[in-house]
Structure 1
Amino acid sequence: MRIAICDDESAQQMLLQKYLTEWAQMSGTPLKSELFASAEAFSFTWEDDKDFDLLILDIEMGPLNGMDLAAHIRKDDEEIPILFVTGYEKYMAQGYEVSALHYLLKPIRKEKLFSLLDRLKEKNLRQEQRLLFQTEDGPISLPPSKIWYLEAQAHWCVLYTADREYTLHFSIGELERFLSGQPEFLRCHRSYLVNAGHICAILKTELVLDDNRRLPLSRSAQKKVNQAFIALHEDSVFRRAPHQ
C-alpha cells in the first residue's frame, strides 16, 4: 500500500507516519508512506506519478489548500481515496464535493485511523488479483500480498502466509516461473522465494521479516535482493516543495 501524507506541519507528518508504520506492522501490510510539505509539492509529483492507494491531506495549507488540491486530483482520478485531516468541522460539508473517504479531526485518534485503514485494506484485497495454487488439500486462491514466502522441502514446497502454511506439489523452480510476473517475489536462496514487501531488514546472511521470522540469504542473491528492497522503500522520504 502506497500512501501520500500532505501536511505543512512536520510534527503532524511524523505523527501520521508513525501511526501508519504501527498499523502496517500490526496488520502485516507492506506499506510505503511519502511526505509532502505542501499541496504544491504533491501536485508537482502527481503530474507524473498517480500510483497511490490513499491520500491523506491537511486542509489548512497555503496558498493552495487541501480542498483545492483534492478538486484538482478529482479531475484526473475520481476513485482514489482521499482522507482529510483538519482542526475544524466547518470544512466537512465541502468534502462531499470531492467525494472524500472520511475526515479525521485533530488531534488524530489512532484507533479511528486504524479502523479506516482496515476498511481500505479489506476493500483493496477484494479487488486485488488472486493467484490460484493446487495444494495437497485442494485448490486455494490468494492475493500476492498474503504470501510471505515459499520454502522448498524435498520434492515439494510449502507456502507461508502470516498465520498458515500450505503444501504445494511443485518444485521451487516451477513456482519461481509461475510468479515471474509478480516482481515482489525474489529468489533469496536456492530453497526460498520471498515476498519483498514483507522484508523488514537485510542482514549479511539472512533476511528478517516483519514478524521476525528469518530466512537465509545466499551470497549470489544479495545484490538483487538489496536492490529490490531499496526500490520498494526509496519513496518513503520527506519531499520539499519545488523551488519556484
Structure 2
Amino acid sequence: MKIAIVEDEAKEQEIIVKYIGEWAEARRELVEFRCFPSSESFLFAWEDGKDYRLLVLDIEMGGMNGLGLAEKVRLEDREVPILFVTGYDEYMQRGYDVSALHYLMKPVDKERLFQALDRMAEAKREEGINLVLNGADEVRRVQTGSILYVEAAGHGSVMHTWDGAFPLRESLGEIEKRVNGVPGIAKCHRAYLVNLRFVSAIRNAELILDNGERLPVSRTRIKQVQREFLRYYKSR
C-alpha cells in the first residue's frame, strides 16, 4: 500500500508514520511511505505516478492548504481515500465536500487513526478487484464490488451493475474463473453469478436483491448458496 503524507511539520510527519507503521504491522499490511512538506511538492511528484492508496493531508499549510490540494486531486481521481488532519474543526464540512475518508484532530490519536485505516481497508475489500472485460464495442473496467449479478447470454454474458447492464463477449464460465476467490460472488444457477453483498433475502427458490430484482436458485445449489450467504455476512 503506497501512502502519501503531506505535512509541513516534521514532528507531526514522524508521529503519523510511526502510527501507520504500527497499524500495518498489526494488520500484516505492506506499506510504502512518501512524505511531502507541501501541497506543491506532492503535486509535482503526483504527476509522475498517481498510484497512491491513501493520502494523509494536513489542512493548515503554507501556500496551498490541504483542502485546496484535495480539490485538485479530486478533479482527476474520485476514488483515492483522503484522510485529513488538522488542529481546527471549522474545516469539517469542506472535508466532506471532497469525500474525505475521515477527519482527525491534532494531536493525532492512535486509536482513532487505526479505526480510520480499518474503515479504508474494509472499503477496499468490499470493492473487490478490477476486471477488464470485452464488451460488444468497448473494453470496460469493472470493480467486482459493483456487480449485482452476471447472466449467461448465448456464447457471451450480460453483467448487471448499479450503473446498468453491459453485454460481454466473455462467457459466464470465463467470468466465473475471473472472480474465483472474490468474497461474496457465488454461482446460484447454471446461468447466473450473484454478488451476495446485494442479496437482501433468500426465499424459496429465489434470491431477492436490494434493487427488487429476483434471481433463480437451482435446487442443487440452494443449500450451498444459503451457507455462503450466512458465512459472508458473519465474516463482515
Q: TM-score, normalised by structure 1?
A: 0.52
Largest Rg, 1 or 2: 2
Q: Tell me the equivalent position of 2:116.
A: 116
Given residue 98 of structure 1, which amino acid in structure 2 is its aligned partner? V
Shift, 1:28, TM fit: 0.7
Q: Tell me the equivalent position of 1:25.
A: 25
Q: Tell me the equivalent position of 1:88.
A: 88
Given residue 96 of structure 1, which amino acid in structure 2 is its aligned partner? Y
Q: Distance in 1 between matches of 2:81 and 2:2?
A: 12
Answer 1 or 2: higher relative contact order, Cα 8 Å, separation at least 6: 1
Q: Is the 8 A contact 2:3 2:54 kept in 1?
A: yes
Q: Distance in 2 between matches of 1:126 and 1:30?
A: 19
Q: Tell me the equivalent position of 1:97.
A: 97
Q: Distance in 1 between matches of 2:17 and 2:44?
A: 21
Structure 1: stretches of 5+ with no match in the other structure: 131-139, 144-244
Given residue 141 of structure 1, which amino acid in structure 2 is its aligned partner? G
Q: Distance in 2 between matches of 1:31 and 1:128?
A: 19
Given residue 33 of structure 1, which amino acid in structure 2 is its aligned partner? F
1:10-39 alpha-carbon deviations (Å, 9 max, x no partner): 000010000011001101111111111111
Matched, 1:34 2:74: no
Q: Distance in 1 between matches of 2:31 and 2:91?
A: 29
Q: Distance in 2 between matches of 1:13 and 1:37?
A: 9
Q: Distance in 1 between matches of 2:33 and 2:57?
A: 13
Q: Distance in 2 between matches of 1:124 and 1:6?
A: 22
Q: Tell me the equivalent position of 1:57.
A: 57
Shift, 1:99, TM fit: 1.4
Q: Tell me the equivalent position of 1:141.
A: 181
Shift, 1:142, TM fit: 6.8
Q: Distance in 1 between matches of 2:110 and 2:69?
A: 25
User: How high is the sequence identity, in percent, across the aligned residues?
Assistant: 50
Q: Is the 8 A contact 2:84 2:104 kept in 1?
A: yes
Q: TM-score, normalised by structure 2?
A: 0.54
Aligned residues: 134
1:24-78 alpha-carbon deviations (Å, 9 max, x no partner): 1101111111111111110101112110111000011111111110111011011
Dislocated runs of 4+, deviation >2 Å:
125-130, 140-143
